[in-house]
Amino acid sequence: MKLEILKELNAERAARRPVIVVTDTASGEQRLVKARDIGSDPLRAELAKQLRMGKSGNVEVGGKKLFLNVYAPTARLVIIGAVHISQALAPLARSLDYDVAIVDPRTAFASPERFPDVKLIAEWPDIALPPLNVDHYTAFVAVTHDPKIDDPALLHAFAKDCFYIGALGSRKTHAKRVERLRAQGASESDIARIHAPIGLDIGAVSPAEIAVSIMAEITAQLRLPPREKEQAA
Amino acid sequence: MLNRDEDILKAAEDWQKAGHGVALATVVETWGSAPRPAGSSLVINDDGTFLGSVSGGCVEGAVVTEALDVIASGKPRMLEFGVADETAWNVGLSCGGTIRVFVEKVG
């Protein structure tokens, strides 16, 4: 790999923009395609397909065997609420290679003593979220149980097309939340994207077990093809 | 802590800038129950230091040896590992899968 390609690859990845490196494995010839340039690329159909699946793979074009290496941004987890569950969720998510950020305006909760080594932002969502550049490669969970904090955060997650959106609360709590979000302009398809009650149903009781059920659900959302995903949910 | 792909590629860039000979090994194809998916990579420098993985640890030793040759020659190489090859048992995949690994020089 030429140093220029490697530098560009690292720069795009640092900016959380997807990139595909196309390699002719016979000759070693290589080029880098940025996500925004895929539409005008001669291999656009193949590139778009691999990027959609988030999977690297081989294609044969004009007698040449090409390896398409997809570099999708590292998955992130944004947690709204520096609560007990978050204390278990943050280290678990990090062990699964997620970049983690926690947002909670209540400084008694959002204290570094409770959350060592985690990006912690003690601000309201309207201030904390815009600089985080929440994107499609972000899993977003709201666990404060406080509508003043959770609701605006969820509206932000809808707008940013997060691949997973989850909210803590019983069916009853969620029904009330849905009413409030509708009143604030959320569409039915936005509402349908919320996983609530949050997490896979594994009978989780302790904060650590709830964290496992949440990360299992997020993993299913990230990795399973669409049909199997519905069965897991 | 596990090495993420981005740390691996950053290390490749840093090593190269520091004047090391560097090679990148990438899984390009897998059959059967291969331990790491296509796109997984390993970066090696001319000290023999490496980061990342292309298997569960089964074939990394052999990949590093080949990578040192690639750093010396500058020519990319395709490696194949699997259990089918009896003579390769020592560097084979115990899981029963087969993988192809593309090794190229950086720079």
CA gap A185, A207 in Å, rounded: 32
**Residue A52: HSE in the Cβ half-sphere, 13 Å Cα cutoff:** 9
Domain limits for position A11: 3-71
Contacts of B78 in chain A (CB under 8 A): 25
Q: Does B39 touch chain A (CB under 8 A)?
A: yes
Q: How many CA atoms lie within 13 A of A33 on its CB side?
A: 23
Q: Where are the alpha helices (DSSP H) in chain A?
A: 3-14, 44-53, 84-95, 125-128, 147-159, 171-183, 188-192, 207-223, 226-232
Q: What is the pLDDT of residue B33?
A: 75
Q: Which of A38, A71, A104 is the last residue of a domain?
A: A71
Query: Which comes out higher in pLDDT, residue A6 or B86?
Result: A6
Q: Is B74 on the interface with A (CB under 8 A)?
A: no
Please name which of A37, A67, A69, A66 lies closest in space to residue A51, comparing C-alpha atoms.
A69
- A164 pLDDT more than 80: yes
pLDDT exceeds cutoff 70 at B91? no
Strand partners of residue B80: B100
Question: Phi, psi (5° rounding) for residue A218?
Answer: -65, -40
What pLDDT, on the 0 to 100 scale, is given for residue A233?
57
Question: Dihedral of CA A166/A158/A132/A106: which sign?
Answer: negative
Q: What is the pLDDT of residues A58-103, one digit of tens each?
A: 999 989 999 999 998 889 999 999 999 999 999 999 999 899 999 9
Look up the pTM and report it: 0.72
Take residue B75 and report the two structure tokens written for it. 């020519």
For an interface test with B, the pick among A69, A99, A100 (most B C-beta atoms closer than 10 Å) comes out as A69
Tell me what pLDDT residue B83 has.
56
Residue type at B84? A
How close A208 comes to chain B (CA, Å)? 20
Q: Which of A47, A71, A95 is the last residue of a domain?
A: A71
Task: Identify the pLDDT of residue A143.
Answer: 97
Same structural domain, A207 and A142? yes
pLDDT (0 to 100) of residue A176:
97
> What three-state secondary structure class fits A137?
coil
Return mean pLDDT, chain B: 85
Q: How many domains does chain A have?
A: 2
User: Which residues of chain A are at the B interface, by a Cβ-Cβ cutoff of 8 Å?
Assistant: 1-3, 6-7, 9-10, 13-14, 23, 25, 28, 30, 55-58, 67, 69-71, 74, 97
At residue B1 the predicted structure's pLDDT band, cuts being 50, 70 and 90, is very low
> Which among B5, B39, B106 is the nearest to A3, CB-wise?
B106
Of B39, B102, B106, the CB nearest to A25: B102
Contact by Cβ (8 Å): A179, A154:
no
Indicate if A217 and A137 belong to the same structural domain: yes
Beta-carbon separation of A69 and B75 below 8 A: no
Average pLDDT over residues B63-74: 95
> Would you state the structure tokens that stand for residue A198, as one six-digit string?
């949050």
A81 and A66 fall within a common domain: no
| Amino acid identity at B8 | I
How many angstroms separate the most distant Cα atoms in chain A?
A: 63
Pick the last residue of a domain from A56, A71, A86: A71
Regarding whether A101 and A36 lie in a shared domain, the answer is no
The CATH number that applies at residue A176 is: 3.40.50.720
Are A12 and A31 in a shared domain?
yes
Query: Is the ipTM above a cut-off of 0.90?
Result: no
Q: Which long-range contacts (CB under 8 A, 24 or more apart) does A17-22 make?
A: A17/A73, A18/A51, A18/A70, A18/A71, A18/A72, A18/A73, A19/A71, A20/A47, A20/A50, A20/A51, A20/A68, A20/A69, A20/A70, A20/A71, A21/A68, A21/A69, A21/A71, A22/A47, A22/A66, A22/A67, A22/A68, A22/A69
A211 in the same domain as A123: yes
Same-domain pairing of A10 and A88 = no
Say if residue A164 is in the same domain as residue A66.
no
Partner residue facing B6 (CB), from A3, A13, A56 = A13
Whole-angstrom distance, CA of residue B76 vs CA of residue A181: 56
Tell me: do A220 and A121 sit in the same domain: yes
Locate the chain A residue with the closest alpha carbon to B26: A69
pLDDT bracket for residue B55 (50, 70, 90)? confident
> Looking at beta carbons, which residues of chain A come within 8 Å of B5?
71
Same domain, A43 and A132: no
d(CA B36, CA B33): 9
Helices of type H across B1-107 = 5-17, 60-73
Q: Do both A95 and A201 map to the same domain? A: yes
Looking at the structure, do residues A53 and A142 belong to the same domain, yes or no? no
* Beta-sheet pairing, B77-82 with A76-80: unpaired
Where does residue A52 rank: exposed (0-12), middle (13-18), buried (19+ CB within 10 A)?
A: exposed
